[in-house]
Copies of this chain bind each other. A is one copy, B any other.
Amino acid sequence: MSVTHTEVTAEPAELEPCGQQHHPDCGIRDVLDRVGDKWSVLVIVELAGGPRRFRQLQRAIDGISQRMLTLTVRRLERDGLALRTVYPTVPAQVDYRLTETGASLTHLVKALADWSLEHRAHIARARETYDSEHPDNEIR
């Protein structure tokens, strides 16, 4: 079977077992669900700048509803990525900060952010090209 139209540099050859990343039982999934979550990442980035109060986070993040912020910080706390501290002041005051584990994630998130900035333009061009070549495509 030869390929007529498109040049093909490599045929389906190298099928290395891949370093166990996607084995069901290894479950990077649940962690990725947390990291991949839109709001979680933004909260982590914000907390990377130091402890923040609830309203402070809400104002900083812009677009997040109070409900989503609540859920997000709860989940981060549950996963041991963030620490919630309640100050017994008269108007209740709470702040959130990253734990050791959470802080270790920061580097990855930053790396991701850096990557985004680096390839942002390229991706934008790719999208335009694709969209102009597939005008009727509904894919977002």
Give residues in A with beta carbon < 8 Å to B. 1, 3-6, 8, 10-19, 21-22, 24, 26-29, 31-33, 35-38, 41-42, 45-46, 48-53, 56, 60-62, 71, 74-75, 77-81, 85-89, 95, 97, 101, 104-105, 108, 110-113, 115-117, 119-120, 122-123, 125-127, 129-131, 137, 139-140
Given contacts A104-B119, A108-B112, A111-B111, contact A12 B78 (CB under 8 A): no
Given contacts A101-B119, A131-B78, contact A18 B46 (CB under 8 A): yes
A1 to B, closest residue via Cβ: B89
Number of copies of this chain that the complex holds? 2
Chain B proximity of A14: nearest CB distance (Å)? 4
Asked if residues A115 and B108 are in contact (CB atoms below 8 Å), the reply is yes
C-alpha spacing A1/B95, complex, angstroms: 14
- Chain B residues closer than 8 Å to A36, beta-carbon distance: 32, 35-38, 41
